Structure 1
Amino acid sequence: MSVDTGTTQGALKPNESHARQWRGFGVGFVVKLILMGLVNALGVSIILSAWNVEAWGVLAASTALLVVADIIYFTRRMLPLKYIYPGLVFLLVFQIFTLGYTAYVAFTNYGTGHAGSMQQAVDAALIQDERRVEDLPSYPLAIVDNGSEIGFAVTDADGIVQVGTAEEPLAPVDGATVDEDTRPTEVPGWEIVPRSELFADPDLQEAVTELRVPVSDDAEDGSLRTRDGSSAAVYGSSLEWDPETATLTNTETGVVYHATETGNFVADDGTRLPTGWVVTVGFDNFVRAVTDSTLAQPLLKVTAWTFAFAILTVLTSFGLGLLFAIIYNDPRIRARRTLRTLFILPYAFPAFMSALLWQGMLNREFGIINDWFFFGADINWLGDPFLAKVAILWVNLWLSYPYWFLVCTGALQSLPGETMEAARIDGAGRWRQFRSITLPLLMISTAPLAIASFAFNFNNFTIIYMLTEGGPPFAGTSGLGSTDILISAIYNISGVSGGAADYGLASALSIVVFVVVGVISAIAFRQTRKLEEI
């Protein structure tokens, strides 16, 4: 009996190969193509933006990441990287880049008065010194609005209508019309603001009088300003910039301001212009934090209180949570579930809202704490340095102990019953069982959480800012207070809450906090390994 093997099912035809056959575009490929198109569009926009602002580092990194993404997702190999690469990109952008940029700022003088390049500082100095140029005439003016910003429309000596804004210098506009006084009446792309509307809106009047429209791209050419909204005059600066010698000269007084290595324009008599530029200052910010007499002593007190606050918060909240967990883990307690629910209620409230409520209750004049519990006594809970610390520790204990109550309850219920039974048979009492068995076993599971809680409270900005805002303040001009911890001190120094900003010093202190928390956490985690061995 013969078997026909020439046309068996699945056999290759003469014109077929063992290579994978192309079967057209699948749905997955089309979806991938669309997603990669969006990724490339976003990447190209970031690259072009970086090119425009001359951010060469961002440009190089964005280009490299985009090219690598295309290589990974348009090749059949590198399957693991297809899943890992997005996480790596997010890690680079949101973690490594942030830390790197913070470290960079820590070695600069970036802050109020030093927020740009030297050329930007020159332009700002020219603008700040502007005075009206008496020799030049005023121009008929119309206030214009394009829906997003206001600007000036003027008619020059040649009868050409020009429009400019605070960001864009004057430029001719085609198709504009003027009245008999040569004041623009219609400007394509802009709406003329009626004078009646201008006079009826004080905010608009203020915006118009504060508006300056550059005459050209060169700041030395001056700008247009108005006082009455009907005519504009050219304002120019008495300072003259010499890029070759890097000096600004006051043409009226003859004073010469030289560019210094500290990022300022300083005259021979020591006077300086208010606007400077960003320069690298090395370790000056770190040194200033420990040598500046107005800053070093308050920072030392803040640092000591930060450690005390973090340690005491962890110890008290853990201790109270463990105590309640032991009590309400006893089967003899009735309605245990209901009581547990009541005890964890503080954990369900937003921390910032709870802090605000406690701030009201601790108020010196009308707070219910003084009225109900101290018979109306005048106790300045939030104004006295010591009492303010006590109040913060108490409020944070009220907010934190439910977390440890839950954690310790779960840990207690997971302890091996055989071990406890053996200890009781051997004659161990309750205290000996707790000290020798329960607590060591609990620490194995809760020690990492305690370390994390310490790190969290070391940077617990919410409770400090919402309850006391760092006050009461220290005597002097440091801007820091008795209940400030390092993170709230950094917030104040950064100028976010108002006042002069010193991002360089704030970044330097942030690096210090990062190193301190990292070192303490590393040491503590090494100690937890010993507990596991025990």
Structure 2
Amino acid sequence: MSTATDDGTREDAPPTPTKKQRRAAGIAEEASGGIKLILVKLIGLGIVDALALYAAFVLVMHEQWLVTVLVVAVAALVNWIYFSRRKLPAKYLTPGVIFLVVFQVFVLIYTGYIAFTNYGTGHNGTKEQAVSSLMASSLQRVEDSPTYGVTVVERANELGLLVTDPDGEAFVGTNEQPLEPATGVEYDGDLAVSAEGWKSLQFADVLARTDEVTALAVPYSEDPNDGAIRTPDGQSGYLYVSTLEYDETAGTMTDLETGVVYSDTGVGAFTAEDGEQLLPGWQITVGFDNFVRAVTDVRLAGPLVYVTLWTFAFALLSVATTFFLGLFLAIVFNDMRMRGRKIYRVLMILPYAIPSFLAALVWAGMMNESFGFINQVLFGGASIPWLTDPWLAKVSILIVNLWLGFPYMFLVCMGALQSIPEDIQEAATVDGAKPWAIFRLIKLPLLLVTVAPLLIASFAFNFNNFNTIYMLTDGGPRDSNAPIPVGFTDILITMVYKVAFTGQTRDYGLASAYSIIIFLIVAVISIIAFRRTKSLEELN
């Protein structure tokens, strides 16, 4: 449609919006307007901004500048998106993307970073923290130390000491913060009893936290060689100096009692000429050393080989047994001649409704050698070591995992079988094909078109099936000859867990390297398997 203008020409009028366009515009207007929605938006953004501000404050206190900039940038981006009236798709995508980055991408990146460090027991801090810890762990009281009046104070759940020196000057500090002049001090006689920004603890509170108070070692100054103030009773403090002497310029730590000099040789710890190290050390980057050690360390080679073989066997057997049992039951209960099929189907999927960790604990009780249900009832009091014999423990795990996993395959195969057209089977029957031939040559290939990707996913899941192994056997029985706490039923993921979180020495760097290796193995196998499954697509 067109209209006449003042100069006699005709101008096209804008097209009338269609019903769908008007509806879409209304939805967009409702999504971006409304008092209630604006209030919800403001409250939500207020919470996000408050959390971001708090995180930025904490990160600045720890001098994490890069992460601080990222947090502030993300918070600003979120505010810009939700205050804009034109970013409707981004408003729905932003929460999911943020959670994906925080709980997936960041975890992967951080695991990769740790794999290139020596992070672990004795190497979990900075060099400054290591020096402070070493000096504090070797403190001895100075015999002629003057007596300092002290008041135990607290700020942000951190204990400190308000120290009054013999000259009446007041200083305050914590384990991490050396003594510095206190402000806003109030005195009770010659003793400073309170300071601005600090809460003074009452005597009853000091008694209740005696262990924490006596563990306080407040550095006297920025120089760790000047010693620290400690208090045995929360009322009087004394000067303690370390039996170690730190030379920051030379990068050495000298034992004043033995005269041994420990140097920073670049391994993340002060090391003597004979190789002895002072621990704790500090975290450093070690490059690919963890990956090399993971596959070449003689101590780890033996356990790594049989754990890897058992991991592949466990994953493959778990997928095979659950699939074929689920397929068999799906074929049986898909037969129209069976009565009560719906009831049987519900019963078959009950194990799928029980949490796997709870089911594994129940099975562990039933398989107990001394009083388990299986030995006492089914085998008449026999003493079968289901969980303590290396081979029977493997069989037990496969049995329990079969019980946990077949309902999933049963449901998948049931749906896949019902999606196969009946006329294909009827045509094959008319041509004289036998039931086994129909299943092997027609149904199974068509079934694999749907199921093959799920089988690959099931393999990846069982390759890292931590719950069943940990809850049923905890990787046992223990291999007493292994240098690390590993057992005969451990798979790679449970071995990584034990390397990282059990034993006296915990090596997070090595565990992270193993995690990356596992990720690469599963990724390569999955890529190869998915490529092979493309040949099945021709059946469609």
| Superposed pair shares fold, TM > 0.5 | yes
1:376 aligns with 2:381: yes
1:493 aligns with 2:499: yes
- Name the CA shift for 1:178/1:75 in 2 (closer, same or farther; >3 Å): closer
Deviations 1:264-318 (A, max 9, x none): 2111232211121122212211111122222111011111111111110111011
SS in 2 for 1:332: coil
1:359 aligns with 2:364: yes
| Residue 17 of structure 1: aligned partner | none
Q: Which region of structure 1 is more displaced relative to structure 2, 108-117 or 230-239?
A: 230-239
Query: Pairwise mapping of residues 50-199 of structure 1 onto structure 2 (< 5 A)?
Result: 50-62=59-71, 64-65=73-74, 84=93, 87-144=96-153, 148-170=157-179, 172=182, 174-178=184-188, 189-194=198-203
- If the length of structure 2 is used for normalisation, what is the TM-score? 0.85
Cα separation, 2, equivalents of 1:150 and 1:82: 44
SS in 2 for 1:234: strand
- Name the CA shift for 1:353/1:73 in 2 (closer, same or farther; >3 Å): closer
Deviations 1:292-351 (A, max 9, x none): 222111011111111111110111011111111111111222211111111211111111
Cα separation, 2, equivalents of 1:27 and 1:240: 68
Conserved? CA contact 2:136–2:217, under 8 Å:
no
Conserved? CA contact 1:364–1:370, under 8 Å:
yes
- AA aligned to 1:489 is M
- Name the CA shift for 1:268/1:411 in 2 (closer, same or farther; >3 Å): same
Conserved? CA contact 2:485–2:503, under 8 Å:
no
| Residue 489 of structure 2: aligned partner | 483
Cα separation, 2, equivalents of 1:385 and 1:434: 38
- AA aligned to 2:129 is Q
| Residue 472 of structure 2: aligned partner | 467
1:213 aligns with 2:223: no
- AA aligned to 2:145 is L
What is the CA distance between 1:55 and its match in structure 2?
2.6
Q: Which region of structure 1 is more displaced relative to structure 2, 354-363 or 25-34?
A: 25-34
- AA aligned to 1:240 is E
Conserved? CA contact 1:258–1:267, under 8 Å:
yes
What is the CA distance between 1:520 and its match in structure 2?
0.7
Q: Structure 2 stretches of 5 or more lacking a match?
A: 12-31
Deviations 1:190-232 (A, max 9, x none): 354335x766x5xx33333333333345433332323344433
SS in 2 for 1:124: helix
1:397 to 392, 398, 402: 402
Cα separation, 1, equivalents of 2:44 and 2:354: 40
Query: Pairwise mapping of residues 135-534 of structure 1 onto structure 2 (< 5 A)?
Result: 135-144=144-153, 148-170=157-179, 172=182, 174-178=184-188, 189-194=198-203, 204-476=209-481, 477-495=483-501, 497-534=502-539
- AA aligned to 1:478 is I
SS in 1 for 2:237: strand
Conserved? CA contact 1:257–1:265, under 8 Å:
yes
SS in 2 for 1:415: coil
- Name the CA shift for 1:289/1:186 in 2 (closer, same or farther; >3 Å): closer
What is the CA distance between 1:474 and its match in structure 2?
1.3
Cα separation, 1, equivalents of 2:349 and 2:43: 48
- Name the CA shift for 1:4/1:229 in 2 (closer, same or farther; >3 Å): closer
Cα separation, 2, equivalents of 1:185 and 1:90: 48
What is the CA distance between 1:516 and its match in structure 2?
0.6
SS in 2 for 1:531: helix
- Name the CA shift for 1:254/1:512 in 2 (closer, same or farther; >3 Å): same
What is the CA distance between 1:107 and its match in structure 2?
1.4
Conserved? CA contact 2:177–2:218, under 8 Å:
yes
Between the two proteins, what is the percent identity of the paired residues? 51
- AA aligned to 1:487 is I
| Residue 24 of structure 2: aligned partner | none
- Name the CA shift for 1:55/1:145 in 2 (closer, same or farther; >3 Å): closer
Cα separation, 1, equivalents of 2:435 and 2:81: 62
Q: Which region of structure 1 is more displaced relative to structure 2, 114-123 or 155-164?
A: 155-164
- Name the CA shift for 1:443/1:5 in 2 (closer, same or farther; >3 Å): closer
Cα separation, 2, equivalents of 1:178 and 1:275: 41
What is the CA distance between 1:87 and its match in structure 2?
4.6
Conserved? CA contact 1:161–1:176, under 8 Å:
no
Conserved? CA contact 1:107–1:282, under 8 Å:
yes
Cα separation, 2, equivalents of 1:30 and 1:376: 69
The alignment's C-alpha RMSD in Å is 3.1
Conserved? CA contact 1:186–1:192, under 8 Å:
no
Conserved? CA contact 1:185–1:192, under 8 Å:
no
- Name the CA shift for 1:105/1:465 in 2 (closer, same or farther; >3 Å): same
What is the CA distance between 1:364 and its match in structure 2?
1.3
- Name the CA shift for 1:90/1:439 in 2 (closer, same or farther; >3 Å): same
- Name the CA shift for 1:5/1:505 in 2 (closer, same or farther; >3 Å): closer
- Name the CA shift for 1:60/1:207 in 2 (closer, same or farther; >3 Å): closer
Conserved? CA contact 1:118–1:276, under 8 Å:
yes
Deviations 1:76-133 (A, max 9, x none): 7777656555554444443333222222211111111111222222222212222222
Cα separation, 2, equivalents of 1:113 and 1:363: 39
Cα separation, 1, equivalents of 2:134 and 2:68: 30
- Name the CA shift for 1:151/1:464 in 2 (closer, same or farther; >3 Å): same
Deviations 1:1-49 (A, max 9, x none): xx9999xxxx9xxxxxxxxxxxxx9658956677666655555554454
